[in-house]
Structure 1
Amino acid sequence: MHSISSRPLYRLLPFLLVALLSCSKDSGSGGSTPTPTPTPPTPVATTFTNPLLSSGPDPWVVQKDGFYYFMATTGNNLTIRKTAKMSELGTAPSTIAWNPALTGVAQRDLWAPELYFFDGKWYIYYSADPLCCDGHRVHVLENSSADPTQGTWVNKGRIANPSLDLWAIDGTVLELNGKRYLVWSGHETTPNPTQILYISEMSNPWTLTGPRVELSRPTYAWEQNGSPAVNEGPEILQHNGKTFIIYSASHCSTDDYALGQLTLTGTDPLAAGAWTKSTTPVFVKNPANKAYGPGHNGFFKSKDGSQDWIIYHANTNPNEGCGNPRNPRMQQFSWNADGSPNFGTPVAIGTPITRPAGE
């Protein structure tokens, strides 16, 4: 018996022809489909630019369960934006949490909302003019939903010392040694428009107990630009056992609105002399970078928890004052050798900034 390889060439031609026809048939429409060329993945942006939104005075950020919740002054309601990435705040969906005109509560000029999660419930602290009582007061809302953009917000009323229910704005909460304290900006007496920072202990998230203690009043020249002289927008910053209050100084109508710093150098935040004020501002305008009147800030951690970020508002142009042109911006900050924060200088708008770590 002969193998195919030992046969003469002419006897192999039928086999070759069959093989060629088979190849032609397999490559046609009845055969297997050629593998398509894979589409390259869309590259993920590694940077963002300021401002984050075209408008957003008095920005505030809180983190919970992998999400950031952002609030800012809108004037007529309280709106929450929810996002997994702060660098994508501009595309985050927004929810109106509170509209006093729809609930029978007579209020106007809603300012500086701040969102917190205490004891299994959400709380919003905000300033509003209740159309009585010589102007603004700090008010509290409560929501038992796990997600603050859902559920029902219940009005808990104003938070104030009954014997000193005076003009007050910009309430923020300090948690220290198992206690909570409200820090705000208010008037010393009804006729005096100078804004002073005060602190009072809280017995629950909507009630003050004990005395009102003065923390800071505008005494330095850099705190007295515009009229009236102002200390406002206090925000708590804690790091490595140190507690700071970063506040806004001078009137928001001026381009010299800036950040000052109080450091808790004592042990009792209600004790006289327990806080030390920085003699110079810690964050100021940068006209070259189109940052006028930077202030009323908040703080948050990067997605992976390794970085500290400041969010603040600023005007893009000079003389834009206290209105809607104030836009939110954010940038990473570092720490000085003495443990105090180093905010640097406002980053120029439109400049690519590396996204917070983990995004």
Structure 2
Amino acid sequence: MPTHMRCLFRRLLTISLLTLTLACQKTAAPPPPVTPPTLTTFTNPLLQAGPDPWVIRRGDFYYYMHTTGNNLTIRKTAKMSELGSAVSTVVWTPQQAGVNQRDIWAPELHFLDGKWYIYYAADPLCCDGHRLYVLENASPDPTTGTWVDKGRLAVPGQDLWAIDGTVLEQNGKRYLLWSGHETASSQAQRLYIAEMSTPWTLVGPRIELSRPEYGWEQNGSPAVNEGPEVLRHGNQTFIVYSASHCSTDDYALGLLTASATADPLRPAAWTKSAAPVFVKNPAGRAFGPGHNGFFQSKDGTEDWLIYHANAQPGQGCGDTRSPRMQKFTWNADGTPNFGTPVATGTALPKPAGE
């Protein structure tokens, strides 16, 4: 082939290849974006440590508290299944003027009469042990604003050892439930109720609703009824409480039942279940399950139980107790059916609406 023909051929071939390359670049589709899979499940425990868990929902957020021992901390989250990544805010510590307390236990956050209240137990370093106290906050968001100390919460003339305060509202009245001693020298813990005139004031009398009487309530020493929590369903009001000492693996949940229109100060209005309603699951690494709370799923269609438990036997009352949650159902007679503590690490569907 003549030289000028070879040059022309190479020139045409180069132009053809360049044209083909540009055409491919114009028509090739970009790679699709990588979308991470949406997680629809969660596993227990929610946190590595968190004794005495408590949850309340207001608006689009859940507010969670547990015993820290030395302060009051609130976690705020839109999704309970993501509690581990929730923003955590220390809202109060006892190192304030005029406050001398230690061993801060079982805080509960309640929204009453347009304000927030935290009920907690602490040892005032006097008076033979723990008492109940109340803080108030007028901010719409309990993780902001100023918490005002409203003082000690006790029935007039009966300033005795007391822990685990919670609020019951029934028949247009408000009541405090708690665990306390019958006398200053008594050690067994009983459940008491008294009417409230304000969120920080009790009016007498103090009425006993339950004491440790069954064998499953008397494991460990002293015998214990504590951690009362209110649950409503249909025309019934329930008090779900923790029984036996927290140092044992047999810490469990008991149940009191009354009509939703009954006078809660009348002991005869309450029926006590002879058997526990939630007990340990050694195979699922749930020892001493108890000190529970309740909440509904984001869409309001599911009822959920939150509680603490130890992952190993013999771990007792310390910070090894971790918060867990699981959905529960209702029996034909309207009582709650909590089932069995779900094994840690089990993939569970997230609460509906999350």
Please, what TM-score do these two structures have when normalized by structure 1? 0.91
Q: Higher Cα Rg: structure 1 or 2?
A: 1
The count of residues paired between Structure 1 and Structure 2 equals: 339
Work out whether residues 240 and 254 of structure 2, in 8 Å CA contact, stay in contact via their aligned partners in 1: yes
The residue type equivalent to 1:314 in the other structure is A
Partner of 1:5: none
Partner SS state of residue 27, structure 1: helix
Q: How does 1:132-143 map to 2 (within 5 A)?
A: 132-143=126-137
- Is 1:166 aligned to 2:173, yes or no? no
- Is 1:54 aligned to 2:48, yes or no? yes
Q: Report the Cα distance in structure 2 between the residues aligned to 1:48 and 1:104, rounded to whole angstroms.
A: 44
Partner of 1:14: none
| Equivalent position to 2:269, from 274, 293, 302 | 274
The residue type equivalent to 2:138 in the other structure is S
Partner of 1:42: 36
Q: 1:44-63: CA deviations, max 9, x gaps?
A: 10111100000000000000
Q: How does 1:84-123 map to 2 (within 5 A)?
A: 84-123=78-117
Work out whether residues 156 and 204 of structure 2, in 8 Å CA contact, stay in contact via their aligned partners in 1: no
The residue type equivalent to 1:242 in the other structure is Q
- Is 1:263 aligned to 2:257, yes or no? yes
The residue type equivalent to 1:126 in the other structure is Y
| Equivalent position to 1:288, from 283, 286, 296 | 283
Partner of 1:6: none
Partner of 2:340: 345
Partner of 2:120: 126
Query: For structure 1, which segment, 305-314 or 102-111, has the greater mean C-alpha deviation from structure 2 after superposition?
Result: 102-111
Q: How does 1:172-191 map to 2 (within 5 A)?
A: 172-191=166-185
Q: 1:4-43: CA deviations, max 9, x gaps?
A: xxxxxxxxxxxxx9xx98x9399389x9796522303211
Q: 1:65-120: CA deviations, max 9, x gaps?
A: 11010000000001000010000001111000110114441000000000011111
Q: Percent identity?
A: 69
Q: Assess, with a 3 A threshold, how the Cα gap between structure 1 residues 26 and 102 changes in structure 2: closer, same or farther.
A: farther
Partner SS state of residue 64, structure 2: strand
Q: Report the Cα distance in structure 2 between the residues aligned to 1:322 and 1:38, rounded to whole angstroms.
A: 52
The residue type equivalent to 1:284 in the other structure is V
Query: For structure 1, which segment, 85-94 or 39-48, has the greater mean C-alpha deviation from structure 2 after superposition?
Result: 39-48
Partner SS state of residue 273, structure 1: helix
| Equivalent position to 1:302, from 297, 313, 321 | 297
- Is 1:239 aligned to 2:233, yes or no? yes
The residue type equivalent to 1:215 in the other structure is L
Partner of 2:315: 320
Query: For structure 1, which segment, 98-107 or 178-187, has the greater mean C-alpha deviation from structure 2 after superposition?
Result: 98-107
Partner SS state of residue 268, structure 2: coil
C-alpha RMSD over aligned residues: 1.8
Partner SS state of residue 125, structure 2: coil
Q: Report the Cα distance in structure 2 between the residues aligned to 1:278 and 1:225, rounded to whole angstroms.
A: 17
Q: Report the Cα distance in structure 1 between the residues aligned to 2:30 and 2:121, rounded to whole angstroms.
A: 60
Query: For structure 1, which segment, 100-109 or 124-133, has the greater mean C-alpha deviation from structure 2 after superposition?
Result: 100-109
Partner SS state of residue 81, structure 2: helix
Runs of at least 5 residues in structure 1 that lack an aligned partner in the other structure: 1-16
Residue 241 of structure 1 and its aligned partner are, at CA, apart by: 2.3
Q: Report the Cα distance in structure 2 between the residues aligned to 1:24 and 1:241, rounded to whole angstroms.
A: 80
Runs of at least 5 residues in structure 2 that lack an aligned partner in the other structure: 1-11
